[in-house]
């Protein structure tokens, strides 16, 4: 056994040397792979990053309510373009309109200070933006990829750079129109014909109206109570609830709420999901409001447009 000991030690030494070489080889291989990786793509023109919000103007066929004739009129929507990243070869960001958030990718021409930005093309509302910078403004046009899929395949884009800021004090303006024009309801009314003395019926449409409660209750600043909510109209409750989401920049899909908040200067749609941005108190208030909305009733009025 003694004669075998030097041989065994020599074997261990050889194994150790082999392992060390293998370890060194693996390390060198990793270093080689790391070195082979392409360097991070440099970002440029970071001063243009941000949110550009404003008008999205298209022409659509409309009917004259007085005589039923068809004419071409302008339709204004609010749109936001978010420029997230600019490199030598690409521009990345998102467009948000009608509550629809779409990614885009394109290019920036430094000499003309203009962007060409393409949405993916797998949605019927996708298209191409061709817009030019002018100080803090973006102006240009949008062309639908599928001109037959949308009412207005070419739209004018007029945007200004805006900084989105969450502010729990934001409320609807006092002079806001508190009428839901998008969900009229039919009612049967009765009247007495003066000449015949007979009572006759007719069908009319009425629109939901909110009360001034929407200017006093703020679900982002105060813990709402059942006593405060129990006598409110359904539309009141919906506006108070959606004001919470609007302050966080939620992009509303329902035109009712878009129309209410687009009457303000502070509302900037930046995301189609802001659930994680709500404070614990705001989340509790939303749960309470949903409970009351389920059973609340609306008040309706007749209005001309």
Q: What was the pLDDT predicted at 64? A: 80
* 186 domain residue, yes or no: yes
Q: What is the DSSP string of 107-140?
A: EEETTTTEEEEE--SSSTT-EEEEEEEETTEEEE
Which structural domain range is residue 267 located in? 179-301
Measured distance between the N- and C-terminal CA atoms of the chain, rounded to whole angstroms: 108
Q: Do residue 140 and residue 223 come from a single domain?
A: no
Phi, psi of 150 (to 5 degrees): -125, 155
* Domain total of the chain: 2
Report the SS3 class of residue 271: strand
* 40 domain residue, yes or no: no
DSSP bridge partners of 200: 191
Q: What is the pLDDT of residues 233-264, one digit of tens each?
A: 999 999 999 999 999 999 999 999 999 999 99
CA distance 250 to 241: 12
Instruction: From 112, 132, 162, give the residue that closes a domain.
Output: 162
* 69 domain residue, yes or no: yes
Q: Do residue 222 and residue 263 come from a single domain?
A: yes
Instruction: From 162, 196, 216, give the residue that closes a domain.
Output: 162
CA distance 263 to 284: 27
* 228 domain residue, yes or no: yes
Asked if 232 and 292 count as a contact pair (C-beta separation under 8 A), the reply is yes
The CATH number of whichever domain residue 99 belongs to comes to 2.40.160.90
Q: Do residue 146 and residue 204 come from a single domain?
A: no
Q: What was the pLDDT predicted at 39? A: 59
Q: Do residue 146 and residue 74 come from a single domain?
A: yes
Beta strands in 35-69 (DSSP E): 50-63
Q: Do residue 50 and residue 146 come from a single domain?
A: yes
Q: What was the pLDDT predicted at 28? A: 41
Q: Do residue 157 and residue 192 come from a single domain?
A: no
Q: Which residue has the tokens 């030494």?
A: 13
Q: Are strands 91-97 and 100-109 parallel, antiparallel or unpaired?
A: antiparallel
For 167, the token pair is 């502010």
Where the chain has pLDDT below 70, the residues are 1-39, 304-305
Q: Do residue 112 and residue 199 come from a single domain?
A: no
Contacts for 104 with CB less than 8 Å, ≥ 6 apart:
81, 91, 92, 93, 94, 95, 117, 118, 119, 120, 129
**218 CB-side CA count, 13 A:** 12
SS3 readout for 197-225 = CCEEEEEEEEEEECCHHHHCCCCCCCCCC
Name the residue among 193, 179, 190, 134 with its Cα closest to residue 158.
134
Instruction: From 162, 188, 214, give the residue that closes a domain.
Output: 162
Task: Tell which phi-psi region holds residue 98, choosing left (phi > 0), alpha (psi between -120 and 50) or beta.
Answer: left
Q: Do residue 148 and residue 229 come from a single domain?
A: no
Q: Do residue 283 and residue 194 come from a single domain?
A: yes
Q: Do residue 261 and residue 294 come from a single domain?
A: yes
Q: Do residue 201 and residue 262 come from a single domain?
A: yes
Q: What was the pLDDT predicted at 199? A: 86
Q: Do residue 146 and residue 235 come from a single domain?
A: no
Name the residue among 278, 230, 234 with its Cα closest to residue 256.
234
């Amino acid at each position: 056994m003694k004669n075998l000991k030097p041989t065994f030690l020599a074997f261990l030494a050889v194994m150790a040397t082999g392992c060390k070489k293998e370890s060194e080889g693996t390390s060198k291989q990793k270093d080689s792979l790391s070195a082979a990786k392409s360097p991070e793509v440099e970002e440029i023109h970071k001063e243009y990053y941000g949110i550009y919000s404003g008008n999205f103007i298209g022409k659509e066929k409309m009917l004259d309510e007085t005589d039923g004739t068809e004419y071409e009129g302008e339709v204004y929507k609010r749109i936001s373009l978010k420029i997230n990243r600019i490199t030598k070869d690409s521009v990345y960001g998102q467009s948000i309109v009608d509550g629809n958030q779409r990614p885009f990718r394109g290019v920036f021409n430094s000499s003309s200070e203009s962007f060409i930005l393409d949405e993916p093309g797998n949605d019927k509302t996708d298209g191409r933006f061709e817009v030019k910078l002018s100080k803090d403004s973006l102006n240009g046009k949008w062309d639908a990829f599928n001109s037959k899929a949308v009412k207005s395949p070419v739209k004018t884009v007029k945007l200004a750079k805006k900084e989105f800021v969450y502010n729990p004090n934001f409320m609807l303006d006092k002079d806001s129109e508190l009428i839901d024009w998008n969900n009229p309801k039919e009612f049967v009314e009765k009247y007495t014909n003066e000449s015949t003395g007979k009572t006759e019926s007719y069908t009319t449409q009425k629109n939901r109206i909110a009360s001034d409660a929407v200017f006093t209750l703020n679900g982002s600043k105060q813990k709402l109570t059942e006593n405060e909510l129990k006598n409110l109209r359904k539309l009141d409750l919906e506006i108070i609830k959606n004001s919470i989401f609007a302050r966080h920049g939620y992009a509303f899909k329902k035109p009712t709420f878009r129309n209410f908040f687009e009457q303000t200067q502070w509302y900037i749609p930046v995301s189609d999901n802001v659930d994680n941005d709500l404070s614990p108190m705001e989340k509790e208030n939303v749960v309470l409001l949903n409970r009351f909305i389920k059973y609340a009733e609306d008040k309706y009025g007749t209005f001309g447009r």
